[in-house]
Structure 1
Amino acid sequence: MSGVEVKVEGLSKSFGRANIWSDVSLTLPPGEVSVLLGPSGTGKSVFLKSLIGLLKPEKGSIVIHDTDLVRCNENRLYELRKLFGVLFQDGALFGSMNLFDNIAFPLREHTKKSEAQIKDIVMEKMDMVGLKGDESKLPGEISGGMRKRAGLARALVLDPEIILFDEPDSGLDPVRTAYLNQLIIDLNAQTDSTFLIVTHDINTAQTVPDNIGMLYRKHLAMFGPRELLLTSDDPVVSQFLNGRREGPIGMSEEKDSAQAEREMAEAGELDGLPPIKPQLEVSAGVPERKAVARRQQRVRDMMHTLSPAAQAAIRASHIAQPQAGVADPGAPTEQLPRAGHGGYGEPRHRLR
């Protein structure tokens, strides 16, 4: 299994008269880990459901393997869905089935493999997520963290090229979240699949992804290398990453601008962004992530499109260190191609 590029262009989704988001454009680089942030109610889960074809957007395209999922016929959409694995918020396990049968379910439904083959695959995936020996347990007999890992094993059984994580850390304590984050990095190294994670957890956003996007005010406000958002001076980003009450984000997404200005004035000088934490590396004994080398070259090629703060953060990391025969990212880059509209690095919208 290996990752595939997912190109989203001009996507818009509404429920009746309620617009969820409009003109969302981004490209998920093949085999890399991306995170989608945003205040509650901004449609992050709706975006995941649109990617997999469970919801149909009114406008835009989602292109995978040269096929637009928004416009293809039902038979082709059914085949393309097999490229996806999904970890739902609560694991979405069948309560009456043991873990083995839960994880085997997609293989029995979508393949003609023998029970012996299914057993080999299920046991391999359970071992990957640390559940070997628990195959006879029911979902009600295990912890929330184990249910998440069982759901993740089920997402892996069809060897998907794209894996979607809908708030994998919800309901988990910080220690279990840290273990799950490390598992995600290790699985990415083993599968080289394209990962997209929806999360509210700031530590996850700071340490796991190669790329970060943020939904706000019904638009994808920003998407690109993790350093782009983690060094942004926008007040929305600062408020979100610091978890503060003061700022543009309110209980119902955004505040009245006058109220936000009043709160900021009352609060006085606020701290800026938290320090950038190093990205998680694979565990001992796990092969290196193939995505690292690809990202390294890709980020060099787009350096001139990023903010000075993001460039400085990239240069300070090992990812941007020049290799033999590769240009220094600080060198003139007129010969390098500019990141395209809605691509890997250029912000699609500015926060406001």
Structure 2
Amino acid sequence: MGAEVVIEGLTKSFGRQNIWRDVSLTLPPGEVSALLGPSGTGKSVFLKSMIGLLKPERGRCVVNGVDIVTCSERKLYETRKLFGVLFQDGALFGSMTLFDNVAFPLREHTKKSETEIRRIVLEKLDLTGLAGAEKKLPGEISGGMRKRAGLARALVLDPEIILVDEPDSGLDPVRTTYISQLFIDVNAQIDATFLIVTHNINLARTVPDNLGMLFRKELVMFGPREVLLTSEEPVVKQFLGGRMDGPIGMSEEKDSAQIAAERAMFEAGHHAGGVEDVTGIPAQMQPTPGVPTRQGAIRRKDRVMKILHTLPPAAQEGIIASLTPEEQRRYGVTPRRSVVTVGRHTTSPAEDTAILPARGELG
């Protein structure tokens, strides 16, 4: 099973420019999480800070008991072997074949024989749908194939944590869906912990178990996907809808005068753009038939059902609606509009349902 990553109070600046501050979240082991946010909010910086390529000023990032921020160089070097990273453009060596690109980490970090390396590389290429392409150069294949080769390389050391930086960058919507399916299938087969940084709304709505969002140098939310997908937080609704109407502007945050001017424009009939309908909670992408059941999805369901009574009513309804009748009986829940019964604990909007705060971590 993948490793749990616990991040507490992480703060990063470049000189006087604060990138984000006091970020706290936990990546549940073996689950797929995604981090959203407008361009320039420091999502890629966050990934680099997680693996020690950048050093935060404050906070902790704990993996298997090791704090990446304060540990020794030797300990950091060893802990990094738990990570696999898929960069935005694949980051392949242009003069090397796909075989040699994927074999590179094994040759650098292990003492395996070439026979063993060949077996592992061909296995990972097959896992990512690249069987038979091992002799090709990166310049001879499509962008989607380069992404898959980058993922194969990220997998060769059998990582417990896989970081993915904007996998849809440079890909058309169809190829983005294919690589999203690949993430789900890989997670099902190796049970690694995933964190995906993305701008892609469809990927964000259908792939991850958990969703988070960075905005205005802070973590707005992080928790089960249903919480963000039903959130009334203006910045979350605007981002998921891809609309101009909201607090996000071209320079990250709008001032009150711009918001008022745009609101008048929209009320006069100007289209705010974006996706027409992102209401509700779409079904989550499932492993390809024949691929093992995702153990992370099972653990996630058990974890979320334990905290169900603390979630906002709309999220509760979405979670229960996703359960089969058998699962509803097993978890002891009864859907009754916005009232949820969990064992002996009954909650409703008028009672003691805890509403997710505008900023902070959940679960």
**TM-score w.r.t. structure 2 length?**
0.90
Tell me whether 297-306 or 160-169 shows the greater mean CA deviation: 297-306
Structure 2 match to 1:52: 51
Count of paired positions: 342
Give 2:299's match in structure 1, choosing from 271, 294, 299.
294
What SS does the corresponding residue of 1:212 show, helix, strand or coil? strand
AA aligned to 1:312 is E
State whether residues 233 and 358 of structure 2, in contact with CA within 8 Å, keep that contact through their aligned partners in structure 1.
Answer: no
Q: CA deviation at 1:243?
A: 1.0
Matches within 5 A, 1:253-272: 253-268=252-267
Matches within 5 A, 1:215-254: 215-254=214-253
Of the two structures, which has the highest relative contact order with CA contacts closer than 8 Å and spacing of 6 or more? 1
State whether residues 98 and 136 of structure 2, in contact with CA within 8 Å, keep that contact through their aligned partners in structure 1.
Answer: yes
RMSD, matched Cα: 2.2
AA aligned to 1:247 is G
Report the Cα distance in structure 2 between the residues aligned to 1:67 and 1:257, rounded to whole angstroms.
Answer: 44
**TM-score w.r.t. structure 1 length?**
0.92
Structure-2 change in CA distance of 1:59 and 1:87 (3 Å): same
Report the Cα distance in structure 2 between the residues aligned to 1:292 and 1:346, rounded to whole angstroms.
Answer: 22
Report the Cα distance in structure 2 between the residues aligned to 1:51 and 1:319, rounded to whole angstroms.
Answer: 37
Report the Cα distance in structure 2 between the residues aligned to 1:141 and 1:109, rounded to whole angstroms.
Answer: 25
Structure 2 match to 1:3: 2
What SS does the corresponding residue of 2:96 show, helix, strand or coil? coil
Residue 331 in structure 1 maps to residue 330 in structure 2: no
Q: CA deviation at 1:247?
A: 1.2
AA aligned to 1:156 is L
Report the Cα distance in structure 2 between the residues aligned to 1:130 and 1:319, rounded to whole angstroms.
Answer: 32
Report the Cα distance in structure 1 between the residues aligned to 2:53 and 2:344, rounded to whole angstroms.
Answer: 42
Tell me whether 256-265 or 8-17 shows the greater mean CA deviation: 256-265
Structure 1 match to 2:86: 87
Report the Cα distance in structure 2 between the residues aligned to 1:320 and 1:67, rounded to whole angstroms.
Answer: 42
Report the Cα distance in structure 2 between the residues aligned to 1:217 and 1:319, rounded to whole angstroms.
Answer: 39
State whether residues 314 and 320 of structure 1, in contact with CA within 8 Å, keep that contact through their aligned partners in structure 2.
Answer: no
Structure 1 match to 2:22: 23
Matches within 5 A, 1:85-164: 85-164=84-163
Structure-2 change in CA distance of 1:258 and 1:305 (3 Å): farther
Structure-2 change in CA distance of 1:237 and 1:324 (3 Å): closer
Residue 349 in structure 1 maps to residue 342 in structure 2: no
1:77-119 Cα deviation digits (max 9, x unpaired): 0000000000000000001100000000000000000000000
State whether residues 305 and 331 of structure 2, in contact with CA within 8 Å, keep that contact through their aligned partners in structure 1.
Answer: no
Structure 1 match to 2:352: none
Structure 2 match to 1:307: 312
Report the Cα distance in structure 1 between the residues aligned to 2:249 and 2:204, rounded to whole angstroms.
Answer: 21
Percent of residue pairs identical: 66
Report the Cα distance in structure 2 between the residues aligned to 1:227 and 1:321, rounded to whole angstroms.
Answer: 20
State whether residues 220 and 348 of structure 1, in contact with CA within 8 Å, keep that contact through their aligned partners in structure 2.
Answer: no
AA aligned to 2:86 is L
State whether residues 238 and 272 of structure 1, in contact with CA within 8 Å, keep that contact through their aligned partners in structure 2.
Answer: no
